[in-house]
Structure 1
Amino acid sequence: MYRFPDNLFTDVRIESVYSTQILLENLELKQNKTKTDTGAMIRIYDGNR
């Protein structure tokens, strides 16, 4: 675990995104794909711009 200085605001977010792709040809299922992406965002703010 990392300790930031006390005068900083820190925010850590972890996100998972799911997407599905379906391919139909003449009402017949040709392809079905599912994709999962996971990422993180770290925000550090000192009270100034």
Structure 2
Amino acid sequence: MNIQKIFLLSFFTTIKIFCIALKCIKSFLCCFHLVRILIYLFKIIHL
């Protein structure tokens, strides 16, 4: 299996759990910021 895909899937699952757990009024914004942060981290890991 592709390790990168597993890595991304686990992070997106984590994001979903965070969004459900936080139950923010602006949950979309919470998810959006988490995705942005994780994409940034993913780019750093690849560099």
Instruction: Pick the TM interval, shorter chain.
Output: under 0.3
State TM-score, norm by structure 1.
0.20
Q: Counting helix residues as a fraction of each chain, which structure ranks higher?
A: 2
Q: TM-score, normalised by structure 2?
A: 0.20
Q: Tell me: higher relative CO, structure 1 or 2? Use CA pairs within 8 A at least 6 residues apart.
A: 1
Larger radius of gyration: 1
